[in-house]
A and B are shown apart, each in its own frame.
Chain A
């Protein structure tokens, strides 16, 4: 799924089409958004360098991290920015977004500092200008990556940010665009606005939801630890033919980087949650078969040769009274017979009146669960 996203961004827009746009969405419970962003960034830039994409360059707008971090990141992935024929340029909205500093030390020729992040239209113009400076004018395309739109949303209105993103998408020179969003920093409607603007939404969710109001619970802490290393990765694609395709994967954070694997079965995930105690809580195969073969005491299972007759609660009143009388007798008989020979299970009968049709035999449900105090 992560691969499909990278392919879609690499292929870019067709003539007369809006550029494919990806929102990477995470939350504090599963804060891997930046790592996913790094992954997509390095994949896309490698494709651009290898000539596999109609896009000829990449403009990276960095708000959350220093440009030097990205230069280092690409270097670690084996991409030498200096010799990459000027295919990438970073618009630095990190070092001095509001113009507080008197002077800026220039990091590199691939970085341009931007000091007016409150003005979305100026930001738009700078991005386009940088892009044209990188790939030239005309119809040559370039891609855009925005480190996080959270900073933009904090400093400008939702509508101006949406207008910027929408204008970028519809610009004839933009091949593809992607951005990161921390969904819990904004109201739901803001996240929705950005999702509407995207053709792909990749959301990160924790593997296990934490129980609310149970802070300090040791099990909760174990879940926090678990969630800090892996999570679920859901992608929603809006295809060209109008269909919406949803896919899911598991994402793991490792020392070497981020890893995407197909979803394992629910059982396997839940098994990890069984508390580690000294006795074996699992059932072996033989035990499972034996359990299935156990004759339940209150349900007729045809074991004493009589035809299977299950009370369905729809007998007439007369019959039921008679039945009850019989039951009383039978219980007494049972008691007598039990005192004679306890091991003889064949004699005596227990007539079980089910409370309702809906109730499953030997239900595991706790009736107290329905209480709503």
Chain B
């Protein structure tokens, strides 16, 4: 039941192909959400898919938004114990909530928070067994809070993301990021979103329906997959322990 209803999202992302342990490897996935439609459910979904798909898959979660207990609670409802995954070396959690990023004007200072974070990620991946090195997902929740931690410097965040992208070339890992579309209203701010749109191989937009609020449908997803040259649009409803995706007018309820 779980598998079937999320299939539209999996299909759009290429996760329906059973041939590879992690079809998203080497790709950058950017999720853009809004206040009315939070996109964090996609992060949880991808984390779950990564863990369930293959035992050699590893996830590195960089959390600016919530503490470990929150994600543990969410994934527990979906049948996954993050504590045991962490102990088994399949789940690495970088708690950035208390990060005071002493970045200042130049990010090149040895104590630069984002540089250090990059170094830590690189070290973590390098230390993994070779089979897992090829199937790593780096998940960032979320970019706007990373910008806050970097004292508002989107340039430093973009530099950090560039370096994470070099990891996708070096190790074939996947990079999954979440950002909020509606917080950038000025002209300068919107270039950050555009930079991410250019950087991403797969862009997922989580938006409310054009017609307004509804009880049966929480919003719509638009997935643009550059690699497969495919675009999909469908509705979703977030339930207690899963998300249901369906084409307009075909809700099961």
Contacts and interface: CB of A to CB of B under 8 A. Distances in A.
Do these two chains really belong together in a complex? yes
B122 to A, nearest CB: 8
Nearest to B193: A28
B207 A215 contact: yes
Contacts of B222: 221, 224
Contacts of A221: 222, 231, 233
A105 B122 CA distance: 13
Interface string A57-100: 00000000010110000000000000000000000001111111
A216 B209 contact: yes
B163 interface: yes
B107 interface: yes
Interface residues of A, number: 33
A189 interface: no
A229 B197 CA distance: 17
Given A28-B197, A95-B166, A185 B207 contact: no
Q: Which of B119, B122, B162, B170 lies at the interface centre, i.e. has the most chain A CB atoms within 10 A of its CB?
A: B162
A154 B191 CA distance: 11
Nearest to B191: A185
Contacts of B220: 216
Contacts of B195: 185
Interface string B170-214: 100000000000000000000100110110000000011111000
A112 interface: no
A228 B198 contact: no
Given A216-B220, A225-B231, A94 B198 contact: no
A216 B37 CA distance: 13
Contacts of B211: 216
A186 B195 CA distance: 11
A6 interface: no
Contacts of B2: none
Nearest to B158: A154
A69 B233 CA distance: 31
Nearest to A100: B115
A98 B107 contact: yes
Interface string A255-291: 1000000000000000000000000000000000000
A253 interface: yes
B69 interface: no
A98 B159 contact: yes
Contacts, number: 67
Given A95-B166, A216-B207, A221-B222, A253 B229 contact: yes
B231 A224 contact: yes
A341 interface: no
Nearest to A148: B198
A184 interface: yes
Interface in A206-222: 214-218, 221
Interface string A97-122: 11111100100000000000000000
Interface string B85-117: 000000000000000000000011000000100
A237 to B, nearest CB: 27
B43 to A, nearest CB: 22
Contacts of B20: none
Contacts of A101: 122, 163
A31 interface: yes
A215 B181 CA distance: 13
A111 to B, nearest CB: 13
B118 interface: yes
Contacts of A253: 229
Given A154-B158, A215-B210, A216-B207, A100 B191 contact: no
A141 interface: no
A182 interface: yes
Interface in B133-179: 155, 158-159, 162-163, 166, 169-170
Given A98-B159, A154-B158, A224 B224 contact: yes
23 contacts: A28-B194, A28-B197, A66-B169, A95-B170, A96-B166, A100-B115, A100-B118, A102-B119, A154-B155, A154-B158, A184-B194, A185-B195, A185-B198, A186-B191, A215-B207, A216-B210, A216-B220, A218-B248, A221-B233, A224-B231, A228-B224, A228-B229, A228-B231
Interface of A: 28, 31, 66, 68-69, 94-102, 105, 154-155, 182, 184-186, 214-218, 221, 224-225, 228-229, 253, 255
Given A217-B210, A221-B222, 9 more contacts: A28-B194, A28-B198, A66-B166, A100-B118, A155-B155, A185-B195, A216-B207, A216-B208, A228-B231
